[in-house]
Amino acid sequence: MKRGKATFYFIITGALFLIIPGVTSTAEEIQIEPGNSKILILAPKEGDVLPAGAEVQVDYRFIKGAKDNGNHVHVYVDGENEGTTRRSPRGLGVLTPGKHSVLLKVSNQDHEWINVEASVQFEVGSGGARK
């Protein structure tokens, strides 16, 4: 018998998933579940104080629901639209010291919001950062 990387197949809610050990997944390999889509912000956490001068990263998990057509995320930093993403984590740049908020809104392929969002408030410590 020839040996190589093991490949496993799982059937979950009618979708076929290919899992190869040693290969990490990205947000583009979106998990699909019955019901509506969900989005969870993993980092930063509510109330975190991040170091000044470092790029802020938002780490999130998007779970696509079979009942809606959400397929990407719109990113807002302090109320300003910072574009879209399908990858997590997503860099937000170096933010000024002080309080900040991030809002993630799930949208369909026509960029219409599907009433699924998550937000977090955090702080960047003092020390010469810029936005």
Q: pLDDT tens digits for 70-111?
A: 889 999 999 999 999 999 999 999 999 999 999 999 998 888
Residue 42 included in any domain: yes
Domain count, the chain: 1
Residue 131 included in any domain: no
Residue 61 included in any domain: yes
Residue 14 included in any domain: no
Residue 99 included in any domain: yes
Q: What is the pLDDT of residues 11-67, one digit of tens each?
A: 333 433 333 333 333 444 556 777 888 999 999 999 999 999 999 999 999 988 888
The pLDDT assigned to 30 comes to: 59
Residue whose structure tokens are 């960029």: 111
Residue 108, domain extent: 27-124
Sorting pLDDT into bands at 50, 70 and 90, what band is 127? low
The pLDDT assigned to 33 comes to: 73
Residue 97 included in any domain: yes
Alpha-carbon distances of 129 from 15, 93, 97, 103, rounded to whole Å: 45, 10, 6, 21
Residue 6 included in any domain: no
Altogether, the residues listed in the chain come to a count of 131
| Contact present, 108 and 69 (Cβ < 8 Å) | yes
Does residue 117 surpass a pLDDT of 90?
A: yes
Q: CA angle at residue 73 from 63 to 45, to 5 degrees?
A: 75
CATH number at residue 52: 2.60.40.10
Q: CA angle at residue 48 from 44 to 54, to 5 degrees?
A: 70
DSSP 53: T
Could you give the CA distance from residue 94 to residue 130 in angstroms, rounded to a whole number? 6
Could you give the CA distance from residue 30 to residue 17 in angstroms, rounded to a whole number? 10
Residue 8 included in any domain: no
The pLDDT assigned to 2 comes to: 43
DSSP 96: P
